[in-house]
Structure 1
Amino acid sequence: MRRIILTTESGADLPAELADKHNVHVVPMHVIMDGQDYLDGSLPVTDIYDYYDRTKKIPSTTSTNSHEYFEFFTKIKKDFPDCIIIHIGYTSKASSSFQNAIIATEDLHDIFLIDALNVTGGLMAIVMYAVTLLENEPSIDPAHLVEKIESKVPKSRLAFVPGSLEFLRAGGRVSNLAYLGGALLKIKPRIELMDGNLVSTKKYRGKMDVVSEKLMRDYLDQYDIDRGQLYLLYSIGLDKEIKQRMDEMAKEAGFKNVKWIQAGAMISTHAGPGGIGIAGLEV
């Protein structure tokens, strides 16, 4: 029986302990600050916030390039001869990373590429679904496994509220006028992945403790999420009491397992500190 290995990008925000436990290989994306290129995960997220405080600019984030993908996949093939790789990638609608993976694998064999059309917790939910399938049925046919994973791509639902409009403004995602109006009225946008694109689908008004509860209620009203697992995301700076309340709401809604995930550099660079998100798979 040939070994199947799952891979993904650092933009999935898959915690290292989960990646190690389930043997998921993660290729880093990039963060650029002060002209220096850092591999995602090689520096604390707080360095991004410090950089913004110092410069009033956000770092640049870039995709994994095709050469890095080639090196990544060939090393796995060297370490695990005759293995089959299933790569679950960051949405192609928001990054060139997936296209670079396609280029890198043109002359490689036994590598399946899946565009998850999602990021951070939404991508991680699909990866962990694949982990569960593979661990429950190690001898599963690779093509069948890919088919089952792909069937879950449109069912992965991610919604998050940035902690700060300042970072969205610094990144050019909101205008100065919109920023001033939003700050004055305490308006916070709800961001979702729609067909792989990051889209503002709703606006909330109020402090984050109020907004987070509205986000949870709206999310659960809108989507029939599998009660087996819910992922809650936060960027550094989110109040502990908000996290406790979100835990309570998730348990009240019948979720058996709730996992908190810290947003990594790809999301934190644009969402800023104190953001919150929810991800899960529809039944």
Structure 2
Amino acid sequence: MRKIILSTESGADLPIELVEKHNLQVVPMHVVMDGHDYLDGHLPVGEIYDYYERTKKIPSTSATNSHEYHEFFTRIKDNFPDCIIIHIGYTSKASASFQSAVIACEELDDIFLIDALNVTGGLAAIVMYAADLLEKEPTIEPAHLVEKIKAIVPKSRLAFVPGSLEFLRAGGRVSNVAYLGGALLKIKPLIELIDGKLVSTKKYRGKMEAVAEKVFQDYLNEYKIDREQLYFIYSIGLDEKIMQRMEEIAKEKGFKNVKWIQAGAMISTHSGPGGFGIAGIEE
């Protein structure tokens, strides 16, 4: 039986312990700051916030290009001869990275590409679903595994509240008028993935501790999430009391396993410090 290798992008924000445990292969995306190109996943997120404090600018981000993908897939095949690669990629609706993977695969064989139509914890939830399934059924046929992964792509639900409207404004995500009004009223937009696109679906008012609870309750009311696994996403600066409270609520709601994921550079450059999010798979 040929070995199946799962791969994804750094934009999944997968904790290193999960990457190592499941032998996941991760290709880095890019963060450009002060004219220097940094590999996402290798740049401490705190440096992004320090850069903003100094310059009042946010770094730019860029996709993995086709040449990098070709090298990435080739290296996997060199390390695991005769393997089959299943790549679960960052949404094609918000990055050119997935298309780069498609181009790279024109010259390579035995690679399946799946557009996760999701980012950060929503992408991580799909990758971990695939990893757990492969662990339970190590002899599963690759095509069958791909079918199962594709079937749960539309069931992965991500909701995220940025910690700073200032970062959204600096990145051109909101107008100055909307920023000023939102800042004065302490309004926080809810960002969700709709058909692979990042969309602001709701607005909440108040401090993050109250907003986080309301977001979680609305999330559970809207989606029937599988209680086996839940992912919370945070950006640096989120109050630990909020994190503890969210875990308490998750346990009260019957979730068996809760995993925290730190937002990496791709998300942090737009969400700012102190953001909170939730991801899970619908039943």
Letter in 1 for 2:153: V
- What secondary structure does 1:95 align onto? coil
State the shift of 1:42 in Å.
Answer: 1.4
- What secondary structure does 2:130 align onto? helix
CA distance in 1 between partners of 2:3 and 2:31 (Å): 33
Equivalence for 1:222: 222
State the shift of 1:194 in Å.
Answer: 0.3
Equivalence for 2:27: 27
CA distance in 2 between partners of 1:116 and 1:42 (Å): 23
| Structure 1 residue runs without a partner (length 5+) | none
- Per-residue CA distance 1:59-97 (angstroms, 9 max, x = gap): 000010000000000011111111000000000000000
Letter in 2 for 1:157: R
State the shift of 1:17 in Å.
Answer: 1.0
- What secondary structure does 2:254 align onto? coil
Equivalence for 1:266: 266
| Structure 2 residue runs without a partner (length 5+) | none
State the shift of 1:148 in Å.
Answer: 0.2
CA distance in 2 between partners of 1:89 and 1:245 (Å): 32
- Per-residue CA distance 1:121-145 (angstroms, 9 max, x = gap): 0000000000011000111000000
State the shift of 1:152 in Å.
Answer: 0.3
State the shift of 1:185 in Å.
Answer: 0.4
- Per-residue CA distance 1:9-42 (angstroms, 9 max, x = gap): 0000011111011000000000000000000111
Letter in 2 for 1:234: Y
Equivalence for 2:18: 18
**Alignment partner of 1:134 is 2:134:** yes
**Alignment partner of 1:40 is 2:12:** no
Equivalence for 2:115: 115
- What secondary structure does 1:6 align onto? strand
Identity of aligned residues (%): 79
CA distance in 2 between partners of 1:192 and 1:43 (Å): 25
State the shift of 1:43 in Å.
Answer: 1.6
* TM-score normalized by the length of structure 1: 1.00
- What secondary structure does 2:168 align onto? helix
**Alignment partner of 1:253 is 2:275:** no
Equivalence for 1:212: 212
**Alignment partner of 1:149 is 2:119:** no
CA distance in 2 between partners of 1:21 and 1:243 (Å): 24
* TM-score normalized by the length of structure 2: 1.00
State the aligned residue count. Answer: 283
- What secondary structure does 1:191 align onto? strand
Equivalence for 2:9: 9
- What secondary structure does 2:191 align onto? strand
Equivalence for 2:50: 50
State the shift of 1:107 in Å.
Answer: 1.2
Equivalence for 1:101: 101
CA distance in 2 between partners of 1:266 and 1:241 (Å): 25
- What secondary structure does 1:58 align onto? coil
CA RMSD of aligned residues (A): 0.4
Letter in 2 for 1:150: K
- Per-residue CA distance 1:218-248 (angstroms, 9 max, x = gap): 0000000000000001000000100011011
Q: Which runs of 4+ in 1 moved over 2 A?
A: none
Write the mapping of 1:56-95 to structure 2, written as runs, cut at 5 A.
Answer: 56-95=56-95
Letter in 2 for 1:255: F
